[in-house]
Amino acid sequence: MVFRQSLLAVSTAALASSAFSQTVLLREDDPAPGGAPGFTISSIGNTAVNQTGGYACTLNVGDGTTSISQVWGDLSGGVGALIREEGVFGTLTQTSFETFLGISGAEVAYSPNCDDSAGSTGLDGVWLDGSVIGIEEMMLPGSTEFLSFGSRPGSTQSGEPYFVGGITDTVGGSTQGRALFYGAGLTQVYRTGVTYPNLPAALSTASVDFDFRFSANGTHNITPLDLDTSATDDGCMAIDGAGLVLGGTLVREAEAIPVSVGGNGEAWDNFDFCGINEAGDYFFTGDTDAAATNDEFIVRNGMIVVREGDTVDGEILTGAIEGAFLNEQNQLAYIWDVVQGTGNVEALFLDDELLLKEGDGVDWDGDGMVDPGAFVTNFTGISSLTVSPTGSVYFTADVDVNGTVLEGYFRIGDDGFGTNYCTAAPNSTGMPGVTAASGSIVVATNIFVLEALKLPSNQFGIFVTSMTSNPGTPAIGSNGILCLGGAIGRFTLPSQIVNSGAGGAFSLNVDLNAFPQGMGTVPVMSGQTWFFQAWHRDNVGLGSNFTDGLEILFL
């Protein structure tokens, strides 16, 4: 099977992530977010993304004596900062967070342990920001049963929480079954003891696997399930409340894989990572009972599209898949061992493109450039790989930094800051001017900021924009290069800014609701791509110049 022909079934979103910037967002041993004196980052947990450019991760910080759990990132895709920290909420005191989390457009779903004022300690549960969704010992709605644990929290874009929880008939009792809970009302999507469509038996005590996924708006779900049978092989796959049937048979351990699905005489053996989006595109991974050299696989929309032993972007796949994630644009990222010399190394892919593998250099100082002496030694975390709507890949990894191994939280891609293109001509500083952006690319937030950098000081400048790029042509009457095409708009007064001091830079808070296009103004729409440059006066040659171009896809 040819991977490039079968795996790539994606939208028109940009896929050239290896050409995007690579940067570290957080590093072990950095000062703790929030500024607590003497506290540094001791560990980094799982990552999360939302549908409006937001990103986040869990982490622990400490001073050698005290450890504090936090959530860090930005829900609108801006500059990362402390979002949540252990706190006291009424009678409950949070103590530590599970590494898993989810983010909506405005809230964080997370799982802290809690102590209450009545003397109970270590109560496990799920919260949405400062509100309890479910906590150990609480009675389940409309039931005489109680919650015994809450784990793997997530959230839809609109803020509907979900998680796997334990069920018991005694307050504080041991877990007697599981359920996949959805929403603040704790609807039980799947639960122990129930037989669902297409399944030959009810679900077992360990019914719901921890590797479930919901689509962004909660329309679809996918999960491995465990059947209550006497067979050793009792796992199966389910989508939207029913067992998954492919080629006329249930996708279940020990069931023969139909030839129409990509089987070659083997049977399903186990199931692992999975994902689904609002369009109903899905994937799942696992093993067959074939030889160990080619038993690992990825199924995508009903077909085995790649398996162990195949070649992807010049790399031979081997061993186990260590993580995988499908975004709403049907882009699939995964971490899989590849053959290297006489051994194997882990490699990170986005669809059929290799992004990074163990031994490769990475950015460690946060400037977006690969640093000498900093290279990946291991991709870390459990299900810590995520992919944004624009195809930026977020992950955690151990990095050897000049002989010291530290963990980092990384992004490959340019969420929130665009992609620079078109080489600018040097100005009188001897350097080419640079266009940058900050704030958020989410139209609804309207906190988008343009920046022009590395310019001569005390010179007049303006920003210009278009919806068409230009690879770069000499600008008439200027020393610079024009990187825009088609109709070009300028930001009118009071948007024109004069540089001051020796900074050689100016910026503009852009009103996305009154955006220039030609001689008129129109609001920016989600899904549109715009291109930006800055024109500025200079005191050499023809008296003016341009920065490089910046491409922004707004969400």
349 band by pLDDT with thresholds 50, 70 and 90: very high
Q: Give the pLDDT score at 498.
A: 56
By C-alpha distance, which of 397, 423, 416, 431 is closest to 21? 416
Mean pLDDT across 436-441: 79
Q: Give the pLDDT score at 356.
A: 96
Maximum average pLDDT range among 76-85, 307-316, 413-422, 429-438: 307-316
Helix (H) or strand (E) holding 155: strand 146-155
Identify whether the C-beta of residue 260 lies closer than 8 Å to the C-beta of residue 251: no
Amino acid type, 87: G
Three-class SS state of 261: helix
**pLDDT tens sequence across 308-337:** 999 999 999 999 999 999 999 899 999 999
Least confident range from 11-25, 28-42, 394-408, 489-503: namely: 11-25
| Confidence (pTM) | 0.78
**pLDDT tens sequence across 147-157:** 999 999 999 99
What 224-227 contacts at long range (C-beta under 8 Å, 24+ apart), as own/partner pairs, is 224/271, 224/272, 224/274, 224/284, 225/190, 225/196, 225/199, 227/199, 227/200, 227/201, 227/202, 227/203, 227/252
Structure tokens at 102: 């989810």
Q: Give the pLDDT score at 416.
A: 60
The count of other CB atoms within 10 Å of the CB of residue 511 is 15
Q: Give the pLDDT score at 415.
A: 64
Three-class SS state of 6: helix
Q: Give the pLDDT score at 499.
A: 56
508 band by pLDDT with thresholds 50, 70 and 90: confident
Q: Give the pLDDT score at 15.
A: 29
Identify whether the C-beta of residue 354 lies closer than 8 Å to the C-beta of residue 395: no
Q: Give the pLDDT score at 5.
A: 27
Domains and CATH numbers, the chain: 419-553 (2.60.40)
Identify whether the C-beta of residue 55 lies closer than 8 Å to the C-beta of residue 48: yes
Q: Give the pLDDT score at 192.
A: 97
Q: Give the pLDDT score at 185.
A: 96
Q: Give the pLDDT score at 519.
A: 72
Identify whether the C-beta of residue 181 lies closer than 8 Å to the C-beta of residue 243: no
**pLDDT tens sequence across 31-57:** 999 888 999 999 999 999 999 889 999
Q: Cα-flanking dihedrals φ and ψ of residue 382, to 5°?
A: -115, 115
Q: Give the pLDDT score at 17.
A: 33
495 band by pLDDT with thresholds 50, 70 and 90: low
Mean pLDDT across 338-357: 94
Amino acid type, 434: V
Between 510 and 396, whose confidence is greater?
396
Alpha-carbon distances of 41 from 23, 33, 140, 346, 531, rounded to whole Å:
18, 8, 37, 25, 37
**pLDDT tens sequence across 169-200:** 999 999 999 999 999 999 999 999 999 999 99
The count of other CB atoms within 10 Å of the CB of residue 259 is 10
**pLDDT tens sequence across 463-474:** 999 999 988 888
Q: Give the pLDDT score at 522.
A: 81
By C-alpha distance, which of 379, 402, 253, 279 is closest to 319? 379
**pLDDT tens sequence across 350-361:** 999 999 999 999
Instruction: Indicate the Cα dihedral angle 93, 98, 102, 104, nearest 10°.
Output: 10
Q: Is the pLDDT of residue 422 over 80?
A: yes
Percent of the chain residues past pLDDT 90, beyond the cut? 67
**Strands (DSSP E) found in 228-352:** 235-239, 242-243, 245-246, 249-250, 268-276, 282-288, 296-300, 303-307, 311-312, 315-326, 332-340, 343-350
pLDDT, the chain, mean: 90
Half-sphere exposure of 455 (CA within 13 A, CB side): 34
Q: Is the pLDDT of residue 493 over 80?
A: no
Q: Give the pLDDT score at 497.
A: 54
**pLDDT tens sequence across 370-410:** 899 999 999 998 889 999 987 899 999 999 999 999 999 99
d(CA 84, CA 77): 16
Q: How many residues does the chain have?
A: 555
d(CA 200, CA 356): 43
**pLDDT tens sequence across 96-140:** 999 999 999 999 999 999 999 989 999 999 999 999 999 999 999
